[in-house]
Amino acid sequence: MDIPTDIQHQQMGYDRTATMFSPEGTILQVEYAEKTVRLGSSSLGMVCTDGVFILADKRTEDPLIVPGSANKIHEIDSHIFTSIAGIISDARVLIDKARVIGQQHRVTYDSPVETELIIKEISNTKQQFTQYGGARPFGVSLMIAGKTNNKFQLYSSDVTGNYLEYYANAIGENDNKIKEKLKESYKKDLTIKKGLKLGLNIFKQIQGDNFKINRFEACYITENQDKIIRIEGSELQELK
């Protein structure tokens, strides 16, 4: 009786460390972390003509939880914000690190940090935890949006430490389905208002009867503003 390949790998210890490649050329701990990310609640982001935004499903309906303590989108600096998918405690460590980098940059250079520098430093940290023993990979993906010299940017970083810039992207649960919808509907001439409407419509199509707008929040920054605007619940309802 043949033993399935994944069981063979477990018996041989390929899934017990982030420093050992399997015979197929993969790092199983990283693959497990990627599965963890896809269990996290969804976020999508878009670069628009007048700014950039992230729309996130908080997936929190417990009436005993204080709403403000369950935000899915976090501010890194006055012009940079991020959403997360995966293990929230892992993300909190990376977000705190990003905030320190932003403040150090302001103190050292008297200017706001660039969005790409933040995602690069976070990705470098993630990569280290796929190369050295004694620790597991970060089980979280981050989508970071920001405004640098009046240019709007959207980046995503996966569990391996890779990062890319996007016009529109999604992370978390059903990310592939959301990306397919974005490929069909996203246009570079969308405004933030139209982009948010599109994003809510995509979530409604995918979630079906489980869609509840009160679970969603959005953050955006525009060309005429130097601070991040957060809207949720009834404010998003007005966009439908």
Better-predicted residue by pLDDT, 19 or 89: 89
3-class state of residue 194 by DSSP:
helix
Q: What angle do CA 200, 206, 212 make, to 5 degrees?
A: 55
pLDDT at 226: 81
CA angle 94–229–235, rounded 5-degree value? 120
- Distance between CA atoms of 52 and 225, rounded to whole angstroms? 12
pTM (two decimals):
0.90
Does CATH number 3.40.50.10310 belong to domain 42-237?
A: no
**What is the structure's pLDDT at 1?**
47
pLDDT, tens only, 77-130:
999 999 999 999 999 999 999 999 999 999 999 999 999 999 999 999 999 988
